[in-house]
Chain A
Amino acid sequence: MMRSTTLQIAFRNFTRNGRRFLLLGLAVGAGFFFVCTVQSLVAGLSSQINIRGARFYGGHVIIRSDDEQSGITQAREDALIRSAIARIGILPSVVSYRTHFGNYWGVDGTVFFNGESVNLRRVIGFDWSSEGGKIRELTFIAGNPDAMTGSDGVLISEVTARRLGASVGDQIILQVIRQGGAINTISLWVKAIFREASIFGYYTAYMDRRALDEALGLDPQHAATVGIYLRDFRSADWVASRLTRALGPGFVVTPVISLMPEIQTMIEALTLVSYAILALLSVVIAVGILNMYRVIIYERTREIGTMRAIGVQRPQVQNIVLCEAFLLAVCGIAAGLVLSTVGLFAISQIPLSGAAGFDIFLDRGHLTWVLYPDVVGLDAVLIAVITVLGALSPARAAQAIDPVVAMRAE
């Protein structure tokens, strides 16, 4: 009864003193808006990197044999990796774990067409039936990727196609170096052309894994790596460390972001900056709440004195003030969240594809943003706690007000 009365009184006071709380609410809302926006943009950048990286490397967590010569064979993978995944209980977080991803590194991959040549950064062999879904996420500007069901097709980037002067339906020659070192070539039909304006796509080509393995002189059951796609890429570190322990020696398990150390460093730096902003804003909000609440309590001396005079006890006065602060935080957070969402939507409409080197973070030339409920929730709780803590000292001062003195105040 006393609790609900406290809340009711606090709510009534809050609504009746709207103008007094407006500035405080704006401060809390602005702080939450800023934190939310920065963190969502950083999360969007990270998300794009992980999407591209997973598509480039074959998963959010990459497993390879520490003996690169032998690689990973299907029999070995089925025997060890799948059982390890089931054993450590990460199955609910795994979307796909049977990805065989024979891949080919180096600058020795060259495509020829009509006298023109392009050195490829990476030729990726994949199994269309099991991995085609991820490849379909590319932006295709010509052709039909579903035509990749055969073994003689290739998907090339827009940049590669332009340099070669090749179109869908043309036959190009891919030159690779076999495992022993001999030069080999394979004729491939261009099935589709994709647009991927980043280092992950400029000079990348996708082809049938078995055809690539055969051209390289590799065992068709061989995979250079096995990739695991996760429902939430943020758990990649955790999954990788658990799988490392479960698999033991003989395998190297890496979260995909670790394969891009410079980008990982940049993302970590941006994340740290966003947390620093959160910390700074928390201090500003706390100090601001403290000072402005002191003023508000002073202005409400008679009101508080009246409450005390009619029987509201000291602890309840403090709780009422703290509840008002909590309601202030809730309203500020809600307003900040709405403004952040609107602001993020507006930012995502700005075309940024002309920014040199920034394409790696963009989705079709636009920034993306991600509002993770757990992150937003944590920020909201933090802001609410800071707000309430900021009001604690004034609340204590309010409960100490003598009703007789307060009633006499002008």
Chain B
Amino acid sequence: MKTRIFRALVCATIAFLLPCWLQAQAAADTPDFRQVLKRADLLVTFADSDFSALYSFVQETPGQGTSSKEAMVFRRDTENTYLIVMVQPEEDKGKGYLKSGNNLWYYDPVSHRFTFTSAKDRFQNLNARNSDFTRSNLAGDYAVEGSQRAKLGIYDCWLLDLVARSDDITFPKMKIWISDDGFVRKTEDYSYSGQHLRTVAFPRYLQIGGRYYPQLVVIVDELRGAVINGKFEKERTTYTISRPSLQRLPDATFTKTWLEKLSE
């Protein structure tokens, strides 16, 4: 009799304590997601130098074929500024963008005029946005609302549900896949009401000077496309980054004057 009671007490204790212990273990294994986002930001932020590279874009429009563009991108992440000059095709040559602080200017070499534009606008009518070229600030822009483990190809990832901290972030909601090595592998960008707007994949990163840059980026527009052979094909932009350089750029590089000169 006493033995049975003792056994029952032991089982009840184990039944009560085991989930608590497991939960504690799980909590100990769950990282601080803000730090995860910070790390993801740091990996691709050039805090000690400038970054310049050739970006090659290929736009696939279902039913209309593909088109290509190339641009030189100059970034100074410490000042959150960038300058972009289109180099191909010929009809776009000389067009440029200059981000200085919260201002984003578009330059037209034909009219020699600068016009104020928005980070939310599409970049050269591609599926990329002007805001895609600013330095990564996931930790500052978003709060984590949910998390789960997920497998993305060969990568074990944290799948995080992000919500923008303020109303001035282009994509107010985002799902992000961050692999265990800290890199952002995929994002799904959503509107404020939760409409899936686009999917961005970062299949490959290369290292330069202790930091990394995505050598290949694939952006799929979830709203634009066409039905081809009975199947809905989505519009897609793929861009590759080549000829990277960490060479210090003159301060004059990030000015309207320099953009005008480059465009000539």
Contacts and interface: CB of A to CB of B under 8 A. Distances in A.
Interface of A: 108, 112, 114-117, 173, 175, 177-187, 215, 217
26 contacts: A108-B121, A115-B223, A115-B224, A115-B225, A115-B227, A115-B232, A116-B224, A173-B195, A175-B191, A177-B118, A178-B192, A179-B167, A180-B168, A181-B119, A181-B167, A181-B169, A182-B164, A182-B168, A182-B169, A182-B172, A183-B170, A183-B171, A183-B172, A183-B197, A184-B192, A185-B195
B35 interface: no
Contacts of A178: 167, 192
A335 B218 CA distance: 75
B111 to A, nearest CB: 18
Contacts of A180: 166-168
Contacts of B197: 175, 183, 185
A185 B172 CA distance: 11
B58 interface: no
A408 to B, nearest CB: 84
Contacts of A177: 118, 120
Contacts, number: 69
Interface in B216-263: 223-227, 232, 234-235
Nearest to B234: A115
Interface residues on B, range: 20 to 34
Nearest to B173: A182
Given A114-B227, A178-B167, A184-B191, 16 more contacts: A112-B223, A112-B224, A115-B232, A117-B223, A181-B167, A181-B168, A181-B169, A182-B164, A182-B167, A182-B170, A182-B172, A182-B191, A183-B120, A184-B192, A186-B193, A217-B192
Contacts of B119: 181
A319 B62 CA distance: 86
Contacts of A114: 227
B235 to A, nearest CB: 8
Contacts of A112: 223-224
A175 to B, nearest CB: 7
5 closest Cβ pairs, A-B complex:
A180-B167, A115-B225, A184-B192, A185-B195, A181-B168
A390 B168 CA distance: 73
A113 to B, nearest CB: 9
Contacts of B164: 182
A185 B193 contact: yes
Interface string B115-135: 000111100000000000000
B118 A181 contact: yes
A115 B223 CA distance: 6
Nearest to A182: B172
Given A115-B232, A217-B167, A184 B224 contact: no
Candidate in B197, B234, B235 with the most chain A CB atoms within 10 angstroms? B197
A117 B198 CA distance: 14
A185 B193 CA distance: 6
Contact of B170 (A181, A185, A187, A215): A181
A90 to B, nearest CB: 39
Interface in B159-207: 164, 166-172, 191-193, 195, 197
B191 A183 contact: yes
A181 B191 CA distance: 11
B170 A117 contact: no
A182 B190 CA distance: 10
Contacts of A217: 167, 192
A185 B166 CA distance: 17
Interface string B84-128: 000000000000000000000000000000000011110000000
B164 to A, nearest CB: 6
A175 B225 CA distance: 16
Nearest to A113: B223
Contacts of B169: 181-182
Contact of A182 (B62, B192, B234): B192
Nearest to A106: B118
A117 B224 contact: yes
Contacts of A108: 118, 120-121
Nearest to B189: A183
